[in-house]
Structure 1
Amino acid sequence: MLDGVMRRLIDPPLDRAGAILARAGVGADAITTAGLAFGLACAAAIAASADTVALAMLALSRLCDGLDGAVARASAKTDRGGFLDIVFDFVFYGAVPLGFALRDPAAFGLPAAVILFAFYVNGASFLAFAAVAAKRGMETASRGVKSIYFTAGLAEGTETILAFALMILVPAWFPLIAYAFAGLTAMTAIARIAFAWVLFRDEEEEGDGSGGAGAP
């Protein structure tokens, strides 16, 4: 929901920084990999109750997530880079709730499982939509230039990072935030599925009546 606004704010400075890094010979894939390392360090710090470190790792991870695309735009975008960016983002999104579950299994295990389930369903709808959109030749740049089709939703990257930051700042609120954000994520998935149900109707379906239109 907020990604479109954030892109307009952060893309200009990121693009300037990306151009500098590209000229210095820094590769986009290296930044993507560093972002994953920072993200996993964030999850490990959460599990160890090192919240200040976790917050710093969260910020560095998401900075890398923005810079890798900027470097790619300033040099050369590749399919491998796009693939790694998506996969590593999903790894990071799953690692943070896991970190809380490891920190306190009794108190945080169930809400972590609930939000991970919501992420799983949302991720499946997101990737399936992108696959069918690519098959149909659909493109969009509403969330920046991406390797795959990005659909808008209530729970996007910006909202996820804000929720993670709040979880780290106030760990005692993790169950409440996890349940609330799981609900928001589920609503995003349901809306996307409903949109796909209408958008991806085949022409044969549109012209087919309940009585078998076209039959002699």
Structure 2
Amino acid sequence: MLDKYITPIIKPLLTPVVILLHKRAITADQLTVVGFLIGLLSLPLLAFGYWYAALVTIVLNRIFDGLDGALARYSKQSSSAGGYLDITLDFLFYAAVPFGFILANPEQNAIAGALLLATFMGTGSSFLAFAIAAERFKIDRPQFKYKSFYYLNGLTEGTETIALFIAFCIWPQNFVLLATLFAIACAITIFTRIYGGYHTLKQQEAKANGALNDA
């Protein structure tokens, strides 16, 4: 929900760093992998209760995630392969954080963490499945033209998810409450994406079939 507002603010802030990285011949894919590995460190840190150390790795992961796309566009090396690598590792990172809290306190956090992971699967699948069909119909993405593939909006997007992870690390004692509330928000996102995505694709199919009949 907030991504379309936050991204235009962050992009200019990354430009000086992107220029420096480009001069040093660093590639966007390298940033993607390094950022993922840094983010993955949050899993053991969370499992052992090092909340603020985990928070640092989460924030660094998100900085790298912003830099890799910006670098790809600046160096004119944006590609479907790079977009695929980026989104795949992003979802693995998103799953690692709740899992870290489950390991930290299975008795208290397991059910809420499992619920959150289940809804993450729903938001991710509804997001990516629509992107595949949207590419087939060449549906415009006016709010996210810089992305490698179609971004279907929702109540819970990247900005909200990272805000949640930060809240987890600052108030780990409230993990169950925060995870449950966010899972409910994710469920709303899943419903709206499936409903909106289905009807959008039905309309596109009807237009395509009408164009064929006219021909």
User: Do the structures match in fold with TM over 0.5?
Assistant: yes
Question: Quick one: which amino acid aligns to residue 47 of structure 2?
Answer: A
- Structure 2's unaligned 5+ residue stretches are 211-215
Q: Secondary structure at the match of 2:154?
A: coil
**Whole-Å separation in 1 of the counterparts to 2:115 and 2:81:** 31
**Whole-Å separation in 2 of the counterparts to 1:25 and 1:111:** 43
**Identity, % of aligned positions:** 37
Q: Is the 8 A contact 1:18 1:71 kept in 2?
A: yes
Q: Is the 8 A contact 2:144 2:150 kept in 1?
A: no
**Whole-Å separation in 2 of the counterparts to 1:130 and 1:62:** 22
**Whole-Å separation in 2 of the counterparts to 1:49 and 1:66:** 27
Q: Secondary structure at the match of 2:143?
A: coil
Report the counterpart of residue 179 of structure 2 in structure 1.
178
Match of 1:203 among 198, 202, 206: 206
What is the CA distance between 1:42 and its match in structure 2?
1.3
**Whole-Å separation in 1 of the counterparts to 2:11 and 2:33:** 20
Report the counterpart of residue 72 of structure 2 in structure 1.
72
Comparing 127-136 with 6-15, greater Cα deviation is found at 6-15
Query: Which string of whole-angstrom CA distances, capped at 9 and with x for unpartnered residues, describes residues 92-139 of structure 1?
Result: 010001001111110001101000000001111001110100011113
Q: Secondary structure at the match of 1:188?
A: helix
Structure 1 stretches of 4+ with a deviation exceeding 3 A read none
- Structure 1's unaligned 5+ residue stretches are 208-216
- The size of the alignment, in residue pairs, is 207
User: TM-score normalized by structure 1?
Assistant: 0.91
What is the CA distance between 1:144 and its match in structure 2?
5.2
Question: Quick one: which amino acid aligns to residue 96 of structure 1?
Answer: V
Q: Is the 8 A contact 1:41 1:54 kept in 2?
A: yes
- In our comparison, the structure showing a higher alpha carbon Rg is 1
**Whole-Å separation in 1 of the counterparts to 2:111 and 2:35:** 28
List aligned pairs for 1:1-216, cutoff 5 A: 1-75=1-75, 76-143=77-144, 145-201=146-202, 202-203=205-206
**Whole-Å separation in 2 of the counterparts to 1:27 and 1:141:** 27
Query: Which string of whole-angstrom CA distances, capped at 9 and with x for unpartnered residues, describes residues 155-204 of structure 1?
Result: 01000000010011111100000000011111111101111121111329
Root-mean-square deviation over aligned CA pairs: 1.7
What is the CA distance between 1:83 and its match in structure 2?
0.8
